[in-house]
Structure 1
Amino acid sequence: MFTPINSDFFEAPTLELARNLLGQILVHETPEGTIAGRIVETEAYMGAEDRAAHSFGNRRTKRTEIMFGRSGLVYTYQMHTHTLINVVSGPIDTPRAILIRAVEPVEGIDLMANLRGKHLPIKQWTSGPGKLTKAMGITMEYYGHHFSERPLFIAEGNPVHAIAVGPRVGIGNSQEAVDYPYRFWESDNPFVSKFR
């Protein structure tokens, strides 16, 4: 049985929170059963001063509005046909967020298999930000929800000791921000996303 983490957890500075999220459990309680995955990869987006962030230059749109809210809120957005899920971070009106890039399946394996396709090897179910939301049944409807509240929440896991750090993925047109070391992942975890 998973219990939502205390909302204070989300108050840490953004880069620290991006590291702290590794090893925690992302939980989705669905009508069919509970699906859970251990977070093994995150990417931080530092808001107004980060060219790779949707909120660069304090851009306020219908999509980015939630990023200006309190830390721990859910920021979902669509990319092609995928839903991507982020943890809002930073003080109110400082529009930062952390993308959850990959999780390691922990519970609800059969449900994940049905959602992702039983023909795929398990390593491919959740090894990317669009894959994990499909595998966990997470949709755009959670925009503005808080990660300390059911049915979609983060529960306490075990800290990760071997953390690798590097540049983010798929942000090629963001000038100097391309090289910022804002991606964090558990070293040698097979569920971390494959990047070209």
Structure 2
Amino acid sequence: MSNLTVRNRAERLPLGLPDTFFDRDTQVLARDLLGKVIRHRIGDLWLSARIIETEAYYCAEKGSHASLGYTEKRKALFLDGGHIYMYYARGGDSLNFSAQGPGNAVLIKSAYPWVDEISGPASLAQMLLNNPDAQGRPRPSQKLCAGQTLLCKALGLKVPMWDAKRFDHQLLLVEDTGPAPPHIIQTTRLGIPHGRDEHLMYRFVDSAYAQWCTRNPLRRGQVEGRDYFLL
């Protein structure tokens, strides 16, 4: 392999999805984001993770932040599809993308570390350093992004830097890297208080990665057609 080939490969930038991809119905967007790769550039490294779990939120339903009304902090939810909405959850950062219609958005619930020619072993090593376990030891890579705050910590995404911003394809983007998941699980969202539309099946999981999402919808005791649907 020539030095020119190596140099060109190193200089290749990922191709981010256009804003129009996000300007669609919230549930459609939540499903279509599965299998896409979030990339965040820190220094010379692209830290990357494949989306395996999402949750859809509509302004009109009680589980959404937007249902509480417009505030300056929530303004990204009311902007065009493709804006970034970040907030703090249990002391950690959480990542959302606005969808079509004021107040509608998708929460990126969990992901799986992604390694390729753009995000190599050095990128994964940095993600492991970003997100150690409670004892300061490296997490198993399969669990590195298994939750909304763990994902943001591993990728180095922070509320002050990205809330209410659009994607910057030199620094933060979502890329389509290949075929969509062949099987998707649809089930109820997590952490929705009683009486706030907790029954709505607005959570979507890539079936092949179900055991690595926030809570496995295929765990023992769950019944297809009652607790979840396979799309």
Please report the TM-score for the alignment, with normalisation by the length of structure 1.
Answer: 0.91
Residues 146 and 153, structure 1, Cα contact 8 Å, conserved in 2: no
C-alpha distance in 1, partners of 2:216/2:36? 23
Distance 2:91 2:44 in 1: 23
Determine if the alignment matches structure 1 residue 50 to structure 2 residue 71: no
C-alpha RMSD over aligned residues? 1.7
Match of 1:115 in 2: 130
1:14 is matched with: 26
Letter in 2 for 1:150: Q
Look at both structures and tell me which one has the larger radius of gyration over its CA atoms: 2
2:150 to 109, 118, 131: 131
The match for 2:99 is: 89
Aligned counterparts of 1:2 and 1:38: Cα–Cα separation in 2: 14
SS of the equivalent of 2:212 reads coil
Aligned residues: 191
* Superposition pairs of residues 52-67 of structure 1, within 5 angstroms: 52-56=63-67, 59-67=69-77
Q: 2:43 aligned with 1:35, yes or no?
A: no
**Structure with the greater relative contact order (CA < 8 A, sep ≥ 6): 1 or 2?**
1
Match of 1:5 in 2: 17
* Structure 1 unaligned blocks of 5 or more: none
**CA distance, structure 2, for counterparts of residue 145 and residue 152 of structure 1:** 10
Shift of 1:156: 1.1
Once the two structures are superposed, residues 124-159 of structure 1 have per-residue CA deviations (whole angstroms, 9 ceiling, x without a partner) of 210000000000000011012223633111111231
Contact 2:52 2:213 in 1 (8 A): yes
Distance in 2 separating the partners of 1:51 and 1:129: 20
Q: What does 1:172-183 align with in structure 2 at a 5 Å threshold?
A: 172-173=193-194, 175=195, 177-183=197-203
Aligned pair 1:78/2:88, yes or no? yes
Q: Secondary structure at the match of 1:178?
A: coil
What CA distance in whole angstroms lies between the structure 2 residues aligned with 1:145 and 1:55? 17
Q: Per the alignment, do residues 81 and 38 of structure 1 end up closer, same or farther by CA in structure 2, a change over 3 Å counting?
A: same
Aligned-pair identity (%): 24
Deviation at 1:176, TM superposition (A): 5.4
* 1:91-126 Cα distance to aligned partner (Å, 9 max, x none): 3xx111100011110132101111112432112210
Q: 1:56 to 1:183 in 2, by over 3 A?
A: same
- What amino acid maps onto 1:97 in structure 2? A
Displacement of 1:2 after TM fit?
Answer: 1.4
